[in-house]
Each structure stands twice: as structure tokens, then as C-alpha cells.
Amino acid sequence: MSTTIIRNAKVYIERGRFEEALLIEDGFVRKVGTNAEVEAAAPADAKVYDAKGRTVVPGFIDSHQHLLNTGVALSDIRLHAATAIAEVKQIARDYIAERKPAAGTVLHGMGWNQDYFTDEHRLLTVRDLDEISTEHPLVFERACGHMLVANTLAMKLAGITPETVPPEGGMIGHFEDGSLNGIFAENARAPLLALFRNKSLEDTMRLIRVAMKHAAETGVTSVQTCDIRGGSWRTTMEAYERVAADHPLTRVYHQSSFMNPAEYKEFLDEGHVMGKGTPFNRFGPLKLFVDGSLGARTAYMRQPYHDDPTTRGIPTLTVEELDTLVGMADSHGCGVAIHAIGDAAVEGVLNAYDKVCHDGLNPLRHGIIHVQITDIPLVERFTKNHILALVQPIFLHYDTQIVEARVGKELAATSYAFGTMKKLGIHMSFGTDSPIEDMNPIDNLYCAVTRTNLKGLPEGGFHPEECLDIYDAVDAYTREGAYASFEEDVKGRLLPGYYADLVVLSEDIFTMPAQELRRTKVDATMVAGEFVFEREGA
């Protein structure tokens, strides 16, 4: 049994309460208190970690992301930093020149965003990607993950022609002459995604470990991740089982995504129910998608888009399909966590939950992921059945630049209503949707407490009345994340009996000015009583 003392620390316990030291035994916190109290309770051979006055917080819990896809994004063509179409092309050409993939190898890129392009303010098209390569099938996903662009070779490989009819809830783009422009949105993306998603067991394990290493470096000790999906779920599940059995760096709680009732039934019939598994690899709720993204104008709105009155976005499930899947999960004792960004999408999910929640109770902790565009009555509806909100404050970095144009000033003013959610007592937890945004919790906290983008704009914050203070923001990232996975009695706090999952920070985030929060570094990360990351020179 390993024993560690962390001393000379500022250990966050709860609002207004900090302690000086922790005693950690066999992966759990056994005692908190002063240096003297903890040392008196420890065996003589205990290891000692001197925090040197630094702040220690519970390990951050990312309540919604895609861990496997984060590994993919860190390994494939990274386009997040591209500020021009020409730069996208150069990044891809450099990748090909450096890696020298064989002709015919499918190459995948992630992260481009037309709103950041300074040379031409438009979406990428097949013509751009054909200029990069005609020997490699190319599939480049937009930053939101709800739209992609493919080159001619990729579309040919996927069997897509100008006559291909998009499925319900999907869009295939065309030029004015009727030829394919290479743009695919929502449910129409599947044939292109299949070109690179079905990876071997060994590759899947490698990518999970790449992402876990990044999680450890950023102070994320637990993830609630949407990686088990229809089609390739058995391989992904086995990869996670093998990683969990061999020194994992991150605790994993699966939000398993099945949009097809028959396939979801097969998954359930094999016994994969919520709560099954180990503390490092457990099954959680069913994950569904009912719309797309604001940036791609595929989020489903009650009114037409302010800057494109021809569309209200794309609903990816009908009311009947949504009710069927939610009912299946609920009847099997399984919660549901549903991606909903537009106000029509959020309303539709709340309607579906009204049909399975009774007497104002939500024992399976059904929730909505993102909850971006709302009016206040819509937010207040969460309290009727105590629906969870799994939100991403980091989205403010980009969305503050576009939301008023997309939905108008009035609706924008009541969106991303984190302060209102807190005041209403809604169980609100934080995530990053990584790799849509980086997994870094510090930037996420910064956006929650300042309501600005990462450059500090707009000055004073975007509707600052919705700001959280740092205590509530940290609690949303720890205690509330634990609540979302039914682990609030063992995770998200540094108290006796809780997992020894913690982060040592370079700065005192509780007293520093909010605008300076981003200079904070993760100096060390501990999971189950063992350090999984220590910053060099810290």
C-alpha cells in the first residue's frame, strides 16, 4: 500500500475552506488538515510531496468530450491554427511531404474554420483540396465536427456522385452547375467519416493513450467521452478495456452514441448498461445528437437564422426517433445525454424528457450537452425535471464573434446562460468537447469567469451578468462533473474517502485577477494517488 503526504499546500475543500495538507493511502484521500495533523497520522515510510505553498484542487472532470478523437486530432493534420485557405493548403502539403503516405492513403484533417480565414471568407471546397493532392483521399472536418469537406478522390472512394441523395437530417453541397462542391453536413457525413474511422485495435489503443497523455498534462483526471459509436463500437470498447487494464492515466465514463434503435438494442442486449465497469472504464448514458453547430448554421433554431433566413438548421432526429431512443434508454435504467445547441433542439429534448420523467424527478440524470441558444423560459424548464446541463464555456471564445449575427442580439443576450443556470440550482458541469476545443481546463475556467474570448474581448465581457465566480466554476468542473457520473460521493472533492485525483497549480486561481487566470500552469497531476504528470522545472 502506497502512502503519500502532500504538505505546504493550499488545498481547496469548498468555498471559504482550504487545508494545508493531505494524507493519501492506496489511491484515496485518508485525511486532510494541517501539516502536523497529517504527518502525525502517516506511517514513517510515507513519501512526501512539498507543494511549496501552491494551490491544489480536485482533478478536473471533463463532462463531455471525445477522447479517442482527441488522439486522432493530435496525430492527424491539425488545422485549428489556420487563418487562411492558403495556410490550410500549406499545412496539408507539409504534412504529406513530412510523412510521405503511400498514394491512396486516406488523410484526415480537423479544425478549419472559415470565420478565421483572412484571404477568402468562405467554406473550403473540393477545388481547394484537389489542389493539395489528387493522389490521396482527403477529408477535412470543420472545427465544429458537424461539417466536412472532401476532395474528388475521397468522394469517389465513398461512392458519392452528383446524383447521391442526402439522408434525412443531412446535406450534400453542390456548385451552381450541379457538380459536387465537396461539402457535407450532419447525417450526410457518414460515408466520408467511414473512410478513416474504422481503425485497428492497436491503432485505437495508441490514440487513446496519446489523448490520455494530453489529459494528464492539462490536469484532466476524468473524462466523460463519446467514442463508443454505432458501427465500430466493439473495437473501441475492447481498446478501452485493454488500456484500462494497463496503467491508464485517465478515468473514463462512456457516453455511448447509437442513433439507430436496432443497433442500440443489440448493445443493450449484450449487457452494456449504465454503471457497468470499473472506476477507470465505466458505461454511462446514451449519447444522441439532435442538431448540429452554430458555426455551420446546422444548429436547429425555432426561427430562421438572422444572417441566413433560408434555413433554421438541421434536425438530425425526428420527434418519433428521439422519443423511441430516449424511451429505450430510460426503460433499461440508462440515462441520456443529448447534444442540443439551437433553441428548437433544446426545446425538443426537454419535451422528450417530459415523457419519461415523472413527479419532477430525474433519477437517471438525463441531461443536455451544450445548451447554447436559449431564452430564459427555456433555461427555467430545466428545473421542472432537474435536467442536467453539460456546458462548454470555452465556446464563448469563438461564438461571441458570431452569435449575434447568427441569432440576433435579443436571443444572443439570453444564451450561454451559465450564471442563470447556477442561480436556478441546475446541475451544470463543464466540458470542452475536445478536440472541438482544446482540453485545457484553465482556458475553460477563464471564459466562464470573464465571458470574453481568449484575447480578453469584448472588454468587460459578453453579457457579464452571466459570469460565474471562480469557486462556482471550479465546482462545476469537479463536483458537478462527478454528479453527472453518479460519483459525487467518491470524486470531485479532496475529502477522506474520495479518490486521490488532484492537480497542483502554479498560481492561486482563487485570489488572482480573473483576467490573469490564463498564466496558470498545471504543475502536477495525480490520479488514484500516483503522479501521472509533473511539469519539468515546476
Return the percentage of the chain with pLDDT > 70, whole number: 100
**Through-space distance between the first and last CA atoms of the chain, rounded to whole angstroms:** 27
Between CA 328 and CA 323 the distance in angstroms is: 8
| pLDDT value at residue 46 | 96
Model confidence, pTM: 0.92
Residue 32: domain span: 3-58+497-534
Residue 86 lies in a domain: yes
115 shares a domain with 51: no
Residue 134 lies in a domain: yes
Whether 305 contacts 407, CB under 8 Å: yes
108 shares a domain with 45: no
| pLDDT value at residue 196 | 87
Q: What SS3 state is found at 462?
A: coil
76 shares a domain with 17: no
193 shares a domain with 76: yes
> What value, to the nearest 5°, has the Cα angle with vertex 108 and ends 264 and 252?
45
Query: 447: how many CB neighbours lie within 10 A of its CB?
Result: 30
31 shares a domain with 117: no
8 φ, ψ (degrees, to nearest 5): 55, 45
Whether 150 contacts 134, CB under 8 Å: no
Grid cell digits, residue 132: 493539395
Between CA 49 and CA 228 the distance in angstroms is: 38
Strand segments, DSSP code E, in 356-436 are 367-370, 388-391, 428-430
Q: Residue 186 forms beta bridges with which residues?
A: 170
123 shares a domain with 166: yes
Looking at the 3D structure of the chain, how many domains does it have?
2
Grid cell digits, residue 455: 484575447
Q: Grid cell 474581448 — which residue? A: 457
Cis preceding linkage at 43, omega within 30? no
Boundary of a domain, candidates 197, 226, 244: 197
Whether 38 contacts 31, CB under 8 Å: yes
Q: For 428-474, how does the pLDDT look when each residue is reduced to its tens digit (9 = 90+)?
A: 999 999 999 999 999 999 999 999 999 999 999 999 999 999 999 99
165 shares a domain with 109: yes
Grid cell digits, residue 136: 490521396
Q: For 196-250, how does the pLDDT look when each residue is reduced to its tens digit (9 = 90+)?
A: 887 899 999 999 999 999 999 999 999 999 999 988 899 999 999 999 999 999 9
Mean pLDDT of 506-533: 98
| pLDDT value at residue 60 | 99
Between CA 243 and CA 86 the distance in angstroms is: 39
Between CA 71 and CA 214 the distance in angstroms is: 9
Mean pLDDT of 323-345: 98
Residue 288 lies in a domain: no
The sign of the dihedral angle between the CA atoms of 25, 29, 35, 40 is negative
Of the pLDDT bands very low, low, confident and very high (cuts 50, 70, 90), residue 1 is low
| pLDDT value at residue 529 | 97
- CB burial of 356-371 (b: ≥16 within 10 Å; e: otherwise) equals bbeeeebebbbbbbbb
- Burial class (CB within 10 angstroms; exposed 0-12, middle 13-18, buried 19+) of 279: middle
| HEC secondary structure over 197-227 | HCCCHHHHHHHHHHHHHHHHHHCEEEEEECC
Q: Residue 399 forms beta bridges with which residues?
A: none
| pLDDT value at residue 210 | 97
Q: For 295-328, how does the pLDDT look when each residue is reduced to its tens digit (9 = 90+)?
A: 999 999 999 999 999 999 999 999 999 999 999 9
Q: For 234-291, how does the pLDDT look when each residue is reduced to its tens digit (9 = 90+)?
A: 999 999 999 999 999 999 999 999 999 999 999 999 999 999 999 999 999 999 999 9
211 φ, ψ (degrees, to nearest 5): -70, -40
Query: Residue 405 pLDDT more than 80?
Result: yes
All residues at 6 or more sequence positions from 225 whose CB lies less than 8 Å from its CB, including other chains: 62, 64, 65, 66, 67, 68, 252, 253, 254, 255
Query: 8: how many CB neighbours lie within 10 A of its CB?
Result: 14
Q: Mean pLDDT for the chain? A: 96
For 373-376, the CB contacts below 8 A with 24+ separation are: 373/294, 373/299, 373/301, 373/341, 373/342, 373/343, 373/346, 373/403, 373/407, 373/411, 373/415, 374/343, 374/346, 374/414, 374/415, 374/417, 375/343, 375/411, 375/414, 376/414, 376/417, 376/420
168 shares a domain with 93: yes
CATH number of domain containing 81: 3.10.310.70
- What element of type H or E holds 347? helix 343-354
How many angstroms separate the Cα of 424 from the Cα of each of 125, 363, 377, 448?
Answer: 44, 19, 12, 17
Mean pLDDT of 66-84: 94
Query: Residue 29 pLDDT more than 90?
Result: yes
89 shares a domain with 51: no
Quote the radius of gyration of the chain (alpha carbons, Å): 23
Whether 368 contacts 326, CB under 8 Å: no
- CB burial of 319-338 (b: ≥16 within 10 Å; e: otherwise) equals eebbbebbebbbebebbbbb
Q: For 96-146, how does the pLDDT look when each residue is reduced to its tens digit (9 = 90+)?
A: 999 999 999 999 999 999 999 999 989 999 999 999 999 999 999 998 889
85 shares a domain with 49: no
169 shares a domain with 119: yes
Residue 258 lies in a domain: no
Boundary of a domain, candidates 197, 223, 238: 197
107 shares a domain with 13: no
Q: Grid cell 447534444 — which residue? A: 339
Boundary of a domain, candidates 159, 177, 197: 197
> What value, to the nearest 5°, has the Cα angle with vertex 184 and ends 319 and 227?
65
